[in-house]
A and B are shown apart, each in its own frame.
Chain A
Amino acid sequence: MTRIADMELKLKDFMQDYPWRELGEIETAKRTKPLAECRVALVSSAGMVAPGQAPYDSKVMGGDWSWRTIPRNIDVQSLTEHHRSDSWDHTGIEADRNMGMPIDRLHELVAAGVIGEVATRHISVMGSITATGRFIRKTVPEIVEALAADEVDVALMVPV
């Protein structure tokens, strides 16, 4: 884990003062069938895009709140990463895109019988969003609608 107290000064000050959004009391969704029968989708905040998709725009004030879908059968190593933050180490994803969007690993977990199925598409966002209003109002409901339409049983978050 990375502790806020151990971050470099400028980032630490920001992280300590930032008014984090709190989910509060929410209804949670209990898994209703065995994991080995579940359809699983990834939600990655690594800012990854598929060939032909527009990259995330690092100039958007407050953070680019747009989103992309990444298809199940893509060559994972063909993805490119467009996350604007320099507060994390990009070298892992540069070396292996599964570090940000581990679709290959999900396929292996299906083959091993751990999960039932890989969802037809996965969700990509660019996680460096300090102004969350547009993301919450527009992007989040669209993502929920997409994963509900795909009848996803379990969504697995991959932040960077």
Chain B
Amino acid sequence: MCPQTVGLVQGALETAGITTTGATGVAEVSEKVGVPRALDIPWRLGYTLGEPNNAELQREVLVQALALTDRDDIPVLVAFEFSGTS
């Protein structure tokens, strides 16, 4: 349910003029709800940020989600990409 719940917030924020992005653990739900931007993360539900106490990986998730705000081709749903360090 979580991707729907944050998706509903996301839609209202966009309409109010606040740019949104985020992660999703169930891309099918985010697509169905129709969120404008989401990073499709590869880990199990509950592990949205990757791994506990792995600050580098957690930052990488946020950086890749934030990078989606550069995109104009809404809706944007892209998979997390592992870099050399993550």
Shortest CB-to-CB span from A30 to chain B, Å, is 7
| Contact pattern, A 65-109, Cβ under 8 Å of B = 1, otherwise 0 | 000000000000000000001011111110110111010111011
Partner of B58, one of A24, A27, A105, A147: A105
What are the residues of chain A within 8 A of B52 when measuring CB–CB?
Answer: 91-93, 95-96, 98-99
What are the residues of chain B within 8 A of A160 when measuring CB–CB?
Answer: 2, 25, 45-46, 48
Shortest CB-to-CB span from B8 to chain A, Å, is 6
What are the residues of chain B within 8 A of A23 when measuring CB–CB?
Answer: 7-8, 10-11, 33-35
- The reply to whether A148 and B5 contact each other, CB–CB distance below 8 Å, is no
Which residues 29-55 of B sit at the A interface, judged by CB distance below 8 A? 29, 32-36, 38, 40-42, 44-49, 51-53, 55
Shortest CB-to-CB span from A103 to chain B, Å, is 11
We find that the number of chain B residues with CB closer than 8 angstroms to chain A is 59
- The reply to whether A20 and B19 contact each other, CB–CB distance below 8 Å, is no
Partner of B1, one of A2, A123, A130: A130
- Name the residue on A nearest B57 (C-beta): A105
Shortest CB-to-CB span from A61 to chain B, Å, is 14
- The reply to whether A156 and B20 contact each other, CB–CB distance below 8 Å, is yes
Q: Is B17 an interface residue (CB 8 A)?
A: yes
- The reply to whether B2 and A45 contact each other, CB–CB distance below 8 Å, is yes
Interface residue ranges, A against B (CB under 8 Å): 1-4, 15, 20-24, 26-31, 35, 40, 43, 45-46, 63, 85, 87-93, 95-96, 98-100, 102, 104-106, 108-109, 112, 114-115, 123, 125, 127-130, 132, 135-136, 140-141, 143-144, 147-148, 152-160
Additional 18 contacts, C-beta under 8 A, given A22-B33, A92-B49: A29-B16, A63-B1, A88-B25, A93-B52, A99-B47, A115-B66, A127-B1, A127-B5, A128-B2, A129-B4, A135-B5, A147-B13, A152-B18, A154-B19, A156-B65, A157-B24, A157-B38, A159-B24
A-B contact pairs, 23 of them (CB 8 A): A1-B79, A4-B28, A22-B34, A29-B16, A29-B19, A45-B2, A96-B52, A98-B58, A102-B62, A105-B55, A112-B59, A127-B1, A127-B4, A128-B1, A130-B1, A135-B5, A140-B9, A144-B16, A148-B18, A152-B18, A154-B21, A157-B20, A160-B48
